[in-house]
Copies of this chain bind each other. A is one copy, B any other.
Amino acid sequence: MLPGTLVSEKTGYHHGDLRAHLVAAVRELVEEKGFDGFSIAEACRRAGVSSAAPYKHFKDKQEILVAVAVDGLFRLGDRMEAEAAKVADDGLARVTAMGRAYVGFARDEPGVFRLTFGQVDTEDKREMMRAVGCDTFGILQRAVADCLATTQDDPVCQFRSYMLWSFVHGHASLSMDGKAEISEAPLEEDRLLAEISRRVLLG
């Protein structure tokens, strides 16, 4: 079965697709209770299995969280591409749209966002997150290369892509839980994102 298709109901003893259901349950719980403060046990109750079941699919709690984080990273990438596809064929506008998608994701799923960009303990999982993160960052890099009329491996493109990423990631993190309101400036988000893109890409 394709991963991520939550179709099968529990067929008596076996669950059907516990792995995906668990990831979904944990995702919900991470949003509801924060990514500390939730428990695997509760996700099990929600998925209708015993609290030992997850360990047939995951080594430990950390591995489940990584699965949720990877899933989140993919959805973030999809959202960026979708938002960029909506706007006209203008490089700058597309980059701005990606920023909007990024911030929107952080605001819609703060728990997953924090998980995705939080720490990972073990080395192999860090490597996995790095690989998937690389793909997602590549989406932005392509748009920037397009905008600057250069290639993705151009150091200038990479430098500016990273600047954009920093900017948007920072704003997303700060605005997520109201820290942006420390600055009393009335923050029109669209203006901010457009300004950011302009200053980085055309400066």
Contacts and interface: CB of A to CB of B under 8 A. Distances in A.
Interface of A: 34-37, 110, 114, 117-121, 126, 130, 133-134, 137, 153, 155, 158-159, 161-163, 165-171, 173-174, 177-187, 192, 195-196, 198-200, 203
Given A153-B184, A159-B183, A173-B173, 12 more contacts: A126-B178, A133-B179, A155-B185, A159-B192, A162-B183, A162-B185, A163-B195, A166-B170, A167-B167, A170-B170, A170-B173, A199-B199
Contacts of A168: 166, 170
Given A173-B170, A203-B203, A158 B133 contact: no
Contact of A34 (B121, B185, B196): B121
A163 B167 CA distance: 8
B117 A179 contact: yes
Nearest to A195: B163
A37 to B, nearest CB: 7
A187 B162 CA distance: 9
The SS class assigned to the A binding surface is helix
Given A35-B36, A169-B170, A203-B203, A130 B182 contact: yes
Contacts of A137: 182-183
A180 to B, nearest CB: 7
A96 to B, nearest CB: 14
Contacts of A187: 159, 162
A169 B174 contact: yes
A16 B120 CA distance: 37
Contact of A196 (B118, B158, B163): B163
A68 to B, nearest CB: 14
Contacts of A117: 173-174, 179
B158 A165 contact: no
A125 to B, nearest CB: 12
A161 B133 CA distance: 29
